[in-house]
Amino acid sequence: MDFEKERNEKLIFSGWFAALNILLFCIFANLALFYLYPLALEEMGASNTQVGLIMGVFVVSTVLTRPLFGLVTARLGERRVMLFGVALCLVSTLLYHFITRISGWLYLVRLVHGMGFSAFIAAYFSAVARLAPPGRRGEVFGVIGATIQAAVATSPALGEWLVKSFGFGALYNFAAFALLLALFAFIPKGFWDHRVYMQTDRSRVSYLRLLRRPGFASLLGVTLLFVFGVAAVFYFVALHTKHKGLTVGPFIFVCSGLAVVIRVFLGHRVDRSAKINFVKWCFICEASALFLMPFIHFRPIYFMTALLMGLGISLMYPALNSLAAQQAVGEGEMPALMAMYTMIFDLGFLIGITGSGALADLITLNGVYPVMGLLALTGLLFSHLTRGLVEPRDELPASPINSIK
C-alpha cells in the first residue's frame, strides 16, 4: 500500500502514527513524573521562591528555544530533531541523580531538560501537521491530545508510589526508562518506511512574516486567552481544593477522563464542520467552569465544574492545532509555524501560572478564577470577531452546518 493511501485509510493503525504516539506518551510521561520534583527540592531545603524559579527554568527554556528548533527542523528534518530532543532529555534526566543541593548545576540541568523537550515538540508537531491528511487533522490531533492527557493523568500517581516506596532515585530511573522506550521507537524499520516524509525542503522561513499574517496572529491571541484559564485551573486546583477541605483526585479524573474520551471518539467531528465553532463552544464551557470554581465546596458544583472544564479542554486542542496547521503555505513552512504556535501555547501556561499566582496573593484564588473567566469570555468574543481571519470561508469543509449563519 502506498503512503498516501495508507495515510488516509489506515490512519489510526498505521506504523508512523503508532510510532508518533509511543514517542509522545513517553516524552510526556517523563515530563509528568517531574511534577513531583518540588518534593525533592523541598528535601534539599529550597524555599518556595527557589522551587518556583527552578521549575520555571524548564518552561522558560522551552519557550525561548522553540523558534530556534523550528528553524533547525526545517533544515535537518523532523526525525533527527526528535531523536536529538529525546536524547537530550535522557541525559539530563540521568543527571538528576547527581544533584543533591541547590546550585548552578541544578539550574543548568533544568535548562538542558527544557531544551530537549522543546526540540522534540518543535519537530513532533511539524511532523504530525504535515503527515496528517488535511481533512483528518482534527481526528489526528484528537488522538494525540488524548495520548498527552493519558500520560499526564497516570504518571504522577506512579511517580508518587515510586518516591514513597524507593525514593527519588527510582523516580529518575523510571523517567529515564520512559525515554529509553522512546528511543527504541526509532529502531523498528516498519515504523519509518516513509521517513522521506519526515524531511522538509530548505525554504527560507521567517517568523516575522508568519506574525504579520492576520489569521495566524489572531489565532495566537485566541490560544493565549484560552490557555490562561487552563493554567489557572490545573496548576492551582490542588491548592484550591485543599483550602476547601476537598481532594483533587476526583476532579482531575473526571476532567481528564472526559477529555480523553471525547478526543478519541469525537475528534473526527472537528473535521466535519467549522472548527471555529468548536473553539467558541469550548470557551463557553471553560468560562462557566472558571466562574463556578469558587463554589466547588458544594459537591454537585464540584463535579459540574470538572465536567465543564473537561468539555472545555476536550475539542479545543484538536480544533486549535488544526487551525494552526491550516495557516501554513506549503510544507516548508510547517516546522517554523508549528514551532511558533506550540511556543505560544507554552508561553500562555507560563504567563497563566505566574499571573494567577501573583494575583492570588492579592485577591485569593476565589478572586482569581472569575478574572480568568472574564478572560475566557474575552476569548469567546475575540474568536467570534476574527472567525473570518482564523478560518476563512473557502477553507470550511462542505457541511450543512457551515451554511448556517
pLDDT band at 15 (very low <50, low <70, confident <90, very high): low
Q: Which of 72, 194, 86, 187 is CA-nearest to residue 131?
A: 194
Q: How confident is the model at residue 134 (pLDDT cuts 50, 70, 90)?
A: confident
Q: Residue 403 pLDDT more than 60?
A: no
* pLDDT at res. 388: 87
Q: Answer with the residue of higher pLDDT: 180 or 395.
A: 180
By the 8 A CB rule, do 29 and 177 touch?
A: no
**Domains of the chain, each with CATH number or no CATH:** 1-136+155-187 (1.20.1250), 207-405 (1.20.1250.20)
pLDDT in tens, 273-309: 889 999 999 999 999 999 999 999 999 999 999 999 9
Q: Considering just the CA atoms, what is the radius of gyration of the chain in Å?
A: 21
Cβ–Cβ < 8 Å for 322, 267:
no
Highest mean pLDDT among 134-138, 145-149, 274-278: 274-278
Tell me the three cell numbers of residue 273: 464542520
Confidence of residue 11 (pLDDT cuts 50, 70, 90): low
Mean pLDDT of 133-143: 84
More confident residue, 265 or 184: 265
What pLDDT is attached to residue 152?
82
Is 318:138 a contact under the CB 8 Å cutoff?
yes
